[in-house]
Amino acid sequence: MTTRPPFPIAWDSTMVKAFRTCPKMFYWEYMLHYKTKASSVHLHAGKAFASGLEAMRKAFWHEGLSSEDALLKGIGVLLTEYGDFECPSDSPKSADRMAGALEYYHATYPLGGDGADPVPLSDGTRAIEFSFAIPLHGSLRHPETEEPIIYTGRADQVVSWAGGIYPEDDKTTGQLGAKWADNWLMRSQFTGYVWAARQLWEKVQGALVTGIAIRKTGFDHARVPTARAPFMVDRWHSQTIEDIMRAMTMWETGYWDYNLDESCNNYGKCPMLDPCMSINPQPWLDTHYEIRRWDPISRSEEALKLLERPKEDDMLLSGAFEGLGFRI
């Protein structure tokens, strides 16, 4: 019996970036859903901060709380989300430091007073944690269902700033160097946000990136716009379609390209480096990884139970996963 995983109908910037980095890594992470068991303080703390920031903004703009009461609600949500996670002793991203970062953010960018108000929506709310799911192109269809391939994302908010409309993204980091802003000049994530925002609003100039540096000795901040000319958005759109079509071809043939270059050691190392270096990757995958499916629409992961381990080769897979709907 041979099976292959279903082709994703919804894609986001995380998935597209993974495919561009290394198709084989994408295949293991987003087709078979293997994720490392090790937890990251950066991801955990960043998620808690984002939850607190969202709660603070909604409390002020949607619930009508005062700025100070909204901050208190945000801190409560942040600490609940952080939970009993054990922060490494050498990391500044402990629960109390993340709460301090939210206080610093609140003081630096006051609610309703920082010149970047979330855009009003027709339902009376504001564009906070603004999600979208838009067909990429009428001719780009799912290889099995023939339904349109969807591009999804979620901006932290969409704001009116400096006479234009900007999707905004908040970044926690360890430091804000002189070249920090250069990281976003070509970032596909933000070009996709601009593409989506321009379906709904005029005067979308680019994206706004707000950074909060969290150090043991203090905090720092930066807010920079990153412009997107129409030709850049059109090029992103065409390239994303081409990338997904390449992924369809690999899905159909069963062979997923290896990068075999510098990306294997970017940011420390690729999460799939160990199985990739093994002549038999399956024992590595079985032992050091767990099955968590990324949902690009809800932007959350779902743990899945492994019923039968897939036997990896370069063309076909054997095995089945609970709830994945593999086609036989």
Q: Which of 25-34, 236-245, 249-258, 263-272 is predicted least confidently?
A: 263-272
> Does 265 map to a domain?
yes
What domain count does the chain have? 1
Residue with tokens 């109390």: 96
Q: Which range of residues forms the domain containing residue 262?
A: 10-38+237-321
**Average pLDDT value for residue range 124-152:** 94
Per the domain annotation, does 183 fall within a domain?
A: no
When comparing pLDDT for 26 and 262, which is higher?
A: 26
What's the mean per-residue pLDDT of the chain?
89
The answer to whether residue 65 is domain-embedded is: no
The answer as to whether 308 is a domain residue is yes
- Distances 128 to 28, 155, 156, 244 between C-alpha atoms, Å: 33, 8, 6, 29
Identify whether 311 is part of a domain: yes
Element (H, E) at 171: strand 164-173
Asked if 153 and 192 touch (Cβ cutoff 8 Å), the reply is: yes
pLDDT beyond 50 at 321: no
Residue 62 lies inside a defined structural domain of this protein: no
**What digits encode the pLDDT tens for the residues 60-108?**
999 999 999 999 999 999 999 999 999 999 999 999 999 999 999 999 9
- Give the pLDDT confidence score for residue 298 in this predicted structure: 75
CA–CA dist 62, 65 (Å, integer)? 8
**What is the distance, to the nearest Å, from the Cα of residue 240 to the centroid of all Cα atoms in its chain?**
16
Q: Supply the pLDDT for residue 319.
A: 31
Question: Which band of pLDDT confidence, cut at 50, 70 and 90, is reported for residue 297?
Answer: confident
Q: Could you read off the pLDDT of 25-37 as tens digits, one per residue?
A: 999 999 999 998 8
> Distance of CA 286 to CAs 145, 220, 254, 280, Å?
31, 42, 21, 11
Structure token digits, residue 1: 């019996």
Q: Is residue 59 part of a domain?
A: no
Cβ atoms of 70 and 60 closer than 8 Å:
yes
Residues in the chain: 328
In a domain, 98, yes or no: no
